[in-house]
Structure 1
Amino acid sequence: MPDTSRTQLKQILATRYAYLVRRLERITGSKEGATDALHETWLRLDKANVSTQVANADAYILGMASNVAIDQHRHERRHAHDDDVDVLLGVPDELADPERILTARRKIDSLKDVLRGLTPRRRAILLAARVDGQLNREIAERFGISLRLVESELSAAMKYCLQRMQEAGDPYTDSRSSGPRKF
């Protein structure tokens, strides 16, 4: 890469740093990961080997930073030591006392009873979304219905379950405890 391109890219990275961090944060999942990747990108720009002028500097920098972030993630994941895993496995579970286990089992049984009160399609949609983690559009394709109908059925199922669990006296069914699905 000619020195002028390298210098221009570094100048763009410096002037648009806050914007690039926000964009990269969506990819890395954290601001720290984004800043680390951009700092490494700054260093790698000195060694970049491209012989033509870059048409879209933001895309070039973000692509390069994304690759850096992936490399960093792989490196961190590779260095999880077996000793650390053994230590974590040796930590006693303080939450697994008999009373908590019994309470959790009762709550699950209560939820199963509530789920039986749903129509078969609503129950299947709710389980696909909340247990299997399927996207609404995947559920719509699976059932051959519209995305809007999936959202409507899912909302109705959630409201029904919340209401029934509250009636059963479950203290943990606060309707403000979770937000809408982002997908």
Structure 2
Amino acid sequence: MNDNLSSSLRARMVARYTELRGKLERIVGSRDDAADAMQETWLRLAAMGEGATVHNPDAYLLRMAANIATDQYRQDNVLLVRGEIAELVHIVDEATDPERVASARSDVQALSQVLNRMPARRRAILVAARVEGQLNSEIARHLDVSVSTVEKELRAALEFCKKHLPNVEAAQRGHYAGARKY
């Protein structure tokens, strides 16, 4: 890629940064991951070689950033090597602690009661997003509603959980754009 094309792509990225980052955020499900990928895209554009042509600069920049985010996700979620597995075998499992089990059961029961008090669509959106890991666009398509509606309902569901589950740590630290599939 020549310097002229690299410069024009960087100028395009500056001009459309907010829109591109917003689209990337919907793809990766995290504002922070999207911002990191956009920054890395900027750096890679500066270091590009010659020889490529770009017909759709926005699509090119978005795909480049999405690929960077995917690569980073995969790198952050590398499987364990044999030595690490051997070390983990000797770690004491605290999950079987009776107090933790009772607390977890209590949290699940409280969550179940809160979910039952939500409207059916809001509950379905929350479960699809947080339990099944579906993207907002997939949920919208499945429920035949707009992505905006899914986002509003998800935000309302999470706020409802925070309000009605003040002693449940997971509900209090929930984010609107939490871990989702890429």
TM-score (norm. length: structure 1): 0.53
Instruction: Pick the structure with greater CA Rg.
Output: 1
Task: Pick which of 144-153 and 155-164 moved more.
Answer: 155-164
2:169 to 167, 172, 180: 172
Which residue does the alignment assign to 1:92?
92
Give the CA deviation at 1:86.
Answer: 3.0
Q: Which residue pairs with 2:119 in the alignment? A: 119
In the TM superposition, residue 146 of structure 1 has moved relative to its aligned partner by 1.1
Shift of 1:85: 1.4
> In structure 2, how many angstroms separate the alpha carbons of the residues matched to 1:95 and 1:101?
7
Q: Which has the higher contact order (CA 8 A, sep 6+)?
A: 2
Residue 83 of structure 1: how far off its partner (Å): 4.3
Q: Give 1:118 shift.
A: 1.2
Matching of residues 32-71 of structure 1 within 5 Å: none
How far off is 1:94 after superposition? 3.3
Matching of residue 161 in structure 1 with residue 157 in structure 2: no
What is the aligned-residue identity percentage?
A: 29
Secondary structure, aligned partner of 1:129: helix
Separation in 1 of the partners of 2:103 and 2:128? 25
Q: Which residue of 2 aligns with 1:82?
A: 82
Alpha-carbon distance in 1 for matches of 2:115, 2:171: 18
Structure 2: 5+ residue runs without aligned partners?
7-32, 55-59
Task: Tell me if the contact between 1:165 and 1:173 (Cα under 8 Å) persists in the aligned partners.
Answer: no
Query: 2:161–2:171: 8 Å Cα contact kept in structure 1?
Result: no
* Counterpart in the other structure of 1:134: 134
Structural RMSD (CA): 4.6
Deviation per residue, 1:69-128 (Å, 9 max, x gap):
x6xx79xx58x5434313312311235421111111111111111111112211111100
Question: What residue ranges of structure 1 are gaps of 5+ in the alignment?
Answer: 13-24
